[in-house]
Structure formats: structure tokens, C-alpha cells
Amino acid sequence: MGGKTTEVMNIQRRYGVLGRSLAHSHSPALFADRFKNWGVEDASYSRFERPTIEGIGGWLNDEAKKEPALCGLNVTIPYKQSILPYLNGLTPAAEAIGAVNAIKPTAQGWIGHNTDAEGFMKSLRPFLKSSHERALILGNGGAAAAVRHGLLGIGVEPIHVTRTPIAWKAMRYETLSAAFVKHCKLVVHCTPVGTYPDLEGCLDFPFDGLTPEHLVVDLVYNPAETALLRNAKVHGAKTMNGKAMLIAQAEAAWQWWNAPESASLIV
């Protein structure tokens, strides 16, 4: 009993992940492991599920004033873009991408940053080849925006595949053909389709267009192999899930949360 009380009293900083449905999230376990390896004994990391983004501004301010205070949050589906009006500033990366996946309280209020692009590129670089000059990005949400930003930064042409028209260069799923897929050797899935518990969920995709020269990346990491990746592998493509990106973006978020406020430039 005494040991448990001491453990709770040692927690001076709270962190967590904010989203609508978080049963699938590995972030709490990931940070618990990192805290142990880093020797961090005064911090906790929790899930914060909210059915809607409405009222988030007041909730954030209340949580930041509690003891122990909420010092930083990861932001996930579907709030990476819809939370922007509730923030008091963005880092240049978040401004350029148009989405956040990390927020923290400052003297100016809550500000947002994006480490998704950094995490994605760090996980992708070891597998990139010269043939990956054009990429199909499946989706147009916050994760897709970060992937787009990262790929543009290295000169890869992004083409989105969406259900509705968007401002970026895109096509509809119903017009995507196997012949077109053959000319896009990199495919990145950025929607939640196939995430636990929807283990058999899969987009309608012309898998016949895939070849052994293709790399198919699914940002979903739970399950480790989605139906989309299984289908891609059957057609000879190399595959990668989102676990490495999850780790890289989380570590980058931790560094940003704990950087001096003067280093957290906003625009």
C-alpha cells in the first residue's frame, strides 16, 4: 500500500495521447518502456479519449493547471487538423504541414508541433530507392499531410487517392487502375482502415498493379500486418508497417515537449 502511494506521489508530469478511440494505441506502452530506459521516474503517459473536439480548449487549460500538470499530448485521429483553431501557435513544421501530432502548454497558451513527417522519413529512408520517384498517398488527413510534406522535401512526387476532391493533386479510388499503380513504386496508406479491431478492413485497391519493385507502407501498426499489407505481399511488393514511424515520432515529440520554451518557435 505504502509503495503504491509513493509511486503516485513521484509523478510530477503527465503526458498522453488524445484521440477519439484509443484502444489500439501502443503509445502508453511505448512511453512506459522509454521512461524506464531513460531513467524518467517522475512522468506518466495515459490515453485521453474524447468523442468530439468541442470544448477541448477549456479542457486543455484545466488539465494544464492540475497537480500534477499535463505537460504534453500526442494528437491522433481524427483531431490532428481539427484541433488547430484551439491552439495559440504552431511551429514552422506544423504550419507547413497543416496538422499537429504533438501539443504542449506554454506561457502563450497551448502550441502545436508536427513530428509525423520527421518520424515517417526516418523510418522510410533505409528502404528508399531511386525508383521511388512517385508516391501514391492513400488518404488526405493529418497523417497524409505529414507524409506529403516529408516526400516533397526529398523530391518525391506525391499523388493522393481520396474519396472526395481535395486541393492537392489527387484521384478517386474508383479511377485508380493497376496500370497507374505500376508507375508509382511507393504506396503509403494513411487512413485508419484496417486498424484493430477492424482486422480484415482493407481499401479497394488494384493490387494487380504491384510488383517486386514496389514498397507499400501502412502507417497502421496494430495489427503488425494489416489486410492491405498481406495483399500487397501476395502480389510481390515489399511491405512495412507504421511501428518504426510511431517510435521515431514519439521520441521527437518527447524532445520537443521538454525543450526550452525559447526553442519552441511558433509562427
Task: Please state, in angstroms and as integers, the Cα–Cα distance from residue 261 to each residue in 63, 119, 186, following that order.
Answer: 19, 22, 38
**Given the DSSP bridges, would you call strands 43-49 and 186-189 parallel, antiparallel or unpaired?**
unpaired
- The alpha carbon torsion through 18, 19, 24, 27 (nearest 10 deg) reads -20
- Helix 27-38 vs helix 243-257: crossing angle, to nearest 10: 60
Task: Please state, in angstroms and as integers, the Cα–Cα distance from residue 63 to each residue in 70, 106, 150, 228, 239, following that order.
Answer: 6, 13, 32, 38, 40
238 is catalytic: no
Q: How far apart are the first and last CA of the chain?
A: 48
Residues, the chain = 267
- Out of 65, 66, 80, 182, the active site residue is 80
- Helix 142-152 vs helix 116-124: crossing angle, to nearest 10: 60
* Whole-angstrom distance, CA of residue 242 vs CA of residue 169: 24
Check: CB of residue 20 under 8 Å from CB of residue 51.
yes
* Whole-angstrom distance, CA of residue 215 vs CA of residue 63: 42
Residues belonging to the active site: 80
